Structure 1
């Protein structure tokens, strides 16, 4: 059963300018693992914007009005680049309260826009 669906889009240039203007924001929004690729290189602005869109989409899928920590949700990718969500803390508590047992996530960026869709599912 689908519990919620969230979609979000982020203008990459505006998001990158915000991160440049407020460098501490990077650590408030992203885990250390999200900030770098598997090889240890810094993620591109497009990739970070897509991850931020995923976190916004996740909050929408959970119907959350706030109170969840950004770093309690981490976007991960497997060896072939397929994204997934790892949740802890405040996000896990909200998901548990709704009975969420599975996540489906899609990320994209093109033409200066990053987008994400998140589906929260329960048994």
Structure 2
């Protein structure tokens, strides 16, 4: 297996929460129904994950935000589910495995994505 791409993103939780309050429609545009009901720090981490996967794919501008969804496995481990535009781009790059790490501390949410092929 070879690394196809790596992406990292950092989000200020308070700033992100203020943006969502100022522009309520943004929540529905960025997040799936399952994601949208989560707390602001979890949303910030999920937004960071979506940005990180886009960066790992070379930041194409035609990706749909709902096509990268962060789900939680039974163990609590976060996992990225790719579909639609994001899945098509990942497949075009030869991606066969997606690794995700999320963290929040001190008002900052961070995500790292590694794509293997």
- Same fold, TM exceeding 0.5? yes
| Aligned with 2:53 (options 43, 55, 58) | 58
Q: In structure 1, what is the Cα distance between the partners aligned to 2:73 and 2:55?
A: 24
Q: Following TM superposition, by how much is the alpha carbon of 1:7 offset from its aligned partner in structure 2, in angstroms?
A: 0.3
Q: In structure 2, what is the Cα distance between the partners aligned to 1:32 and 1:43?
A: 10
Q: Following TM superposition, by how much is the alpha carbon of 1:17 offset from its aligned partner in structure 2, in angstroms?
A: 0.3
- Residue 14 (structure 1) aligns with: 15
Q: Following TM superposition, by how much is the alpha carbon of 1:81 offset from its aligned partner in structure 2, in angstroms?
A: 1.0
Q: TM-score, normalised by structure 2?
A: 0.96
Answer yes or no: is 1:72 the counterpart of 2:67. Answer: yes
- Residue 99 (structure 2) aligns with: 104
Gap runs ≥5 in structure 1:
36-41
Give the length in aligned residue pairs.
116
Q: Following TM superposition, by how much is the alpha carbon of 1:64 offset from its aligned partner in structure 2, in angstroms?
A: 2.2
- Residue 38 (structure 1) aligns with: none
Gap runs ≥5 in structure 2:
none
Q: In structure 1, what is the Cα distance between the partners aligned to 2:97 and 2:109?
A: 23
| Aligned with 1:44 (options 24, 39, 48) | 39
Q: In structure 2, what is the Cα distance between the partners aligned to 1:62 and 1:92?
A: 10
Answer yes or no: is 1:29 the counterpart of 2:30. Answer: yes
